[in-house]
Amino acid sequence: MNSPNSVSAQTQSRKADHIRICLEEDVQCHEATNGLERYRFTHCCLPEINRDDINLSTTFLGKHLSSPLLISSMTGGTEQAGLINQRLAKVAQNYKIAMGVGSQRVAVEKPQVADTFAVRKYAPDVLLFANLGAVQLNYKYGLDECLRVVDILEADALILHLNPLQECIQTSGDTDFRGLIDKIANLCSKLPIPVIAKEVGNGISAVMTEKLMAAGVTAIDVAGAGGTSWAKVESERAENPLQRRLGRTFADWGLSTAECITGIRSLAPDVPLIASGGLRHGLDVATAIALGADIAGLAMPFLKAAAISEAAVEDLAEVLIAELTTVLFCTGNATLEQLKHSQSLQRRQ
């Protein structure tokens, strides 16, 4: 049996591998897309609004955001990850956008790395999401561990990420998902902050959303297919040919981001909904919001920028906001709510 120290060392090593692989290797989906390209906005040649009057602000889980952007959960647990999180948090604060951190399991196993997640000091006013794998509830994690990661971040909500495919391919992955819905329900009833259910790149269906909502989950982050493939990431880390083969076979597995959004909205029109999974620019963000998402999360673009500098993250935020503003202006919508109800988004023939 592995000792606690060896387990925490393995977890920390995995976190470092994930950053390196995402930055250096081709781990994007190639056949699967986010589905957003199937939609097109109707251009308005006479918007009848002043671009300077466009308002991108919104609220999510009761907190004000200056624009509907989320720096999606990525990392923590290593020195490099701590620097990345610091840069991201400072920009999130400056632009008043939301931010999540990567899985904090490593901080539970190895408390001395908790500071790599503790970004509240850099982002005092930002909507912050703590993060743990839901499957850990079947591996001796419970309310105490969840409260611990929430406290580290001083978080406004807790993400429980769902990653069965990744765990299947990962070396020594945690694959006992039995009875999790009841354990999630028990946790939701006791945790003093909202719980967000999030996939990691394979999507959440409308049917699963209904089950999660019935269990007490407050919000959904669809994290659909079309972006980074965690099957491919784990394939790059594989220790044997079987794992490598599995990762390649299932590289494009999952539900597209677009079909997750539309499916969920058809059954759950009011659930707080985050669109993520393969979003790469402000036009993707606008499309996702027009389809029914409340805010939109991006990971890979922010990771690449944060690996360079804080200034690069600021530049990315500026571009995303400018692109989103341009969509609203060129569709004649002054607010996000107007965009959602404008019927200016059409499915391509």
Q: Which stretches of 250-341 are DSSP H helices?
A: 257-267, 282-291, 300-306, 310-330, 336-341
**Cα 285 from Cα 10, distance rounded (Å):** 35
Q: How far is CA 146 from CA 174, 184, 191, in A?
A: 18, 11, 8
**Cα 157 from Cα 220, distance rounded (Å):** 12
| Total-model pTM | 0.95
pLDDT of residue 172: 87
| Candidate CATH numbers 3.20.20.70, 2.60.40.1180, 3.40.50.1220, 3.10.180.10; the one for domain 27-347 | 3.20.20.70
How many of the other CB atoms lie within 10 Å of CB of 312? 16
pLDDT of residue 16: 79
**Cα 220 from Cα 204, distance rounded (Å):** 8
pLDDT tens per residue, range 19-57: 888 888 888 989 899 999 999 999 999 999 999 999 999
Of 208, 248, 245, the residue nearest 224 (C-alpha): 208
User: Which segments in the chain show pLDDT lower than 50?
Assistant: 1
pLDDT of residue 62: 97
pLDDT of residue 325: 98
